[in-house]
Amino acid sequence: MLRLGRREFASHERVIMAIVNRTPDSFYDQGATFRDEPALARVEQAVAEGAAIIDIGGVKAGPGEEVSAEEEVRRTAGFVAEVRRRFPDVVISVDTWRHEVGEAVCEAGADVLNDAWGGVDPRLAEVAARYGAGLVCTHAGGSEPRTRPHRVTYDDVMADILDVTLGLAERAVELGVERESVMIDPGHDFGKNTRHSLEATRRLGEMVATGWPVLVSLSNKDFVGETLDRPVKERVVGTLATTAVSAWLGAQVYRVHEVAETRQVLDMVSSIAGDREPAVARRGLA
């Protein structure tokens, strides 16, 4: 059982986490949801299309203009409070590596802290424990926040992923984060080249076998673009193919831009796996 905020998800449920960037320079939408009203409209649309979790980010993942902790709080905390007011049942996640930001957004009503940089600030897990929030424990290959990998190597990339994420998850539980509220993420593209991310996907079942719920953040990433030689705006098909494979291998939570398309892929996989009945089943019965 995965327990986040007011929601509980059975192990066979495939859950969508919709991305809402509160940044003027995000790699995918170039700031389309930086202002409040477009961002709130995005939340409403994502929930209507089947997202159970909204992931709010105040800093672009890649290199760019420096964003202080104070500015990150300004971009996220008030918005979290408004989303909580308008959508009381949605799970609110905030993508941050800073404990100061974690404190502010949990105070505003966030349910999950999505630490995409692999515990670079160890106090973030302490904040999650103190507020009863969930935590995403990600493998980033030891990278500093907002840096790109350069000639990174692993003897065994999945062994390293497991060592890091399981260590972060167990530490979080020791600090007081509820075990049912911790997820592990292989960190596609973070501290990895394209071959590493492909191997992490291929071996995702090894993460699932640990028993921790697995979150994957695949949406329109560079490893998809390089594999198919496609620019950012032409990576949806590759992303959905990777999503289907990840779903079949047992990943539970999917951080995405395209909610409706992802919902269809996950529902189809769930039905093939026998976890979901077809929406309609008339063929050959009339």
Q: What is the pTM of this model?
A: 0.96
pLDDT at 30: 74
User: Of the listed 255, 263, 282, 283, which one is catalytic?
Assistant: 255
pLDDT at 3: 98
pLDDT at 32: 87
For residue 268, the 8-state DSSP code is: H
* pLDDT mean by block of 10 residues, the chain; 286 residues: 97 97 84 90 97 97 94 97 97 98 98 97 98 98 94 98 98 98 98 98 98 98 98 97 98 98 98 97 91
pLDDT at 242: 98
Sign for the pseudo-dihedral over CA of 158, 159, 160, 163: positive
pLDDT at 20: 96
The torsion angles phi and psi of 207, rounded to 5 degrees, stand at -70, -45
pLDDT at 165: 98
Residue 233 designated active-site? no
Three-state secondary structure readout of 223-259: HHHHHHCCCHHHCHHHHHHHHHHHHHHCCCEEEECCH
Residue 255 designated active-site? yes
User: Of the listed 42, 75, 221, 235, which one is catalytic?
Assistant: 221
